[in-house]
Amino acid sequence: MNLIHYKSELLSFLEERKKSRKIVGLVPTMGTLHQGHLSLIEKAKENCDLVVVSIFVNPTQFDNPSDLENYPKNLKEDVEILNHHFKNIIIFAPHTREIYGDHLKSEHFDFEELASKMEGKSRQGHFDGVGTILKKLFNLIQPDKAFFGKKDYQQLMIVKKLVNILEQPIEIVGCPISRERNGLARSSRNKRLSKSEREKATLLYKNLKMAQENFKKKPFDYIINKVKADFEKEINMSLDYFEIADSQTLTSKRVFEQGKKYRAFIAARVGKVRLIDNMALN
Ligand code: AMP
Instruction: Give the distance (Å) from ligand 1 centre to CA of residue 280.
Output: 17
Protein residue closest via CA to atom 22 of ligand 1 = 149
Give Cα separations from 26 to 43, 172, 264 (angstroms).
11, 10, 28
Closest CA to 158 of 123, 127, 189, 121: 127
- Verify whether ligand 1 is closer than 6 Å to residue 152 (CB atom): yes
Rounded Cα gap, residues 59 and 68, in angstroms: 7
pLDDT at 1 over 80: no
pLDDT (mean) for 177-194: 97
Quote the CA–CA distance of 177 and 29 in Å, as a whole number.
15
Q: How many CB atoms lie within 10 A of CB 2?
A: 12
**pLDDT per residue as tens digits for the range 2-44:** 999 999 999 998 998 878 889 999 999 999 999 999 999 999 9
Q: What integer pLDDT is reported at residue 18 of this predicted model? A: 79
Q: Quickly count helices (H) and strands (E) in the chain.
A: 11, 9
257: confidence class by pLDDT, cuts 50, 70, 90: very high
Give me ligand 1 centre to Cα 197, in Å.
20
pLDDT at 81: 98
CA nearest to 192, candidates 275, 78, 276: 275
Burial tier of 20 (Cβ tally within 10 Å: 0-12, 13-18, 19+): exposed
- Helices 202-214 & 220-232 angle (0-180, nearest 10): 160
pTM: 0.97
Q: Is the CB of 43 under 6 A from ligand 1?
A: no
Confirm or reject: Cβ of 203 under 6 Å from ligand 1. no
Please tell me if the CB atom of residue 177 comes closer than 6 angstroms to any atom of ligand 1.
yes
Is the model's pLDDT at 170 over the cut of 80? Answer: yes
The helix or strand, by DSSP H or E, that contains position 221, with its residue range, turns out to be: helix 220-232
Q: Give the pLDDT mean for 201-208.
A: 98
Residues 6+ apart with CB under 8 A from 97: none
Are the beta carbons of 251 and 128 closer than 8 angstroms?
A: no
> Which numbered atom of ligand 1 lies nearest the CA of 188?
3
What digits encode the pLDDT tens for the residues 210-220? Answer: 999 999 999 99
DSSP 185: B
> What pLDDT score was predicted for residue 208?
98
pLDDT at site 17:
80
Could you report the per-residue pLDDT of 41-89, keeping only the tens digit for each? 999 999 999 999 999 999 999 999 999 999 999 999 999 999 999 999 9
More confident residue, 155 or 13: 155
CA–centroid distance, 151 to ligand 1, in Å, is: 6
131: left (phi over 0), alpha (psi -120 to 50) or beta: alpha
**How does DSSP classify residue 106?**
P
